[in-house]
Amino acid sequence: MAIIEGVTGPKIATAEYDFARDGGAVSSITLRSVDSDSVGSAIPVGAVILGGYVDVLTTLTSGGAATIAINSEGAGDALAALAVASWTAGRKSVIPAFTGATAIKTTAARSIVATIATAALTAGKFRVVLIYV
């Protein structure tokens, strides 16, 4: 087995959405890091996101037909827009599924972003966990 210079083991980026703190307007919300509670670039340039999950801690609700997507490099790349009814408590799979075809490579330092569309959210909380090298 060869060692590739400059490549280290997997890293984990965790970010959180909380309606009580972030609101729920139709918009793109840069999520806060779980580790430092700061908003900003959690994933470095050139990272390859291999997999992860979304853990819905409190079911999301909306007065309308809201959709929520999770983005890193581009629109809906980590999780395509899902109807609010799908955002019930528990874990959800993300698109990167530890395959070359689904991995996401960043072209700049990136944040984890939640995009709320169609209608505003009225409650909910979730955590995004992305594993990258």
Residue 1 lies in a domain: no
Closest CA to 97 of 50, 133, 61: 50
Q: What global pTM score does this model have?
A: 0.91
| Structural domain boundaries enclosing 102 | 11-132
Q: Evaluate whether 72 touches 49 at the Cβ level (below 8 Å).
A: yes
pLDDT digits (tens, 9 = 90+) for 41-58: 789 999 999 999 999 999
CA separation (Å) from 17 to 26, 54, 64, 123?
A: 14, 11, 19, 10
The CATH number of whichever domain residue 47 belongs to comes to 2.60.120.1110
Tens of pLDDT, residues 106-122: 999 999 999 999 999 99
How many residues does the structure list for the chain? Answer: 133
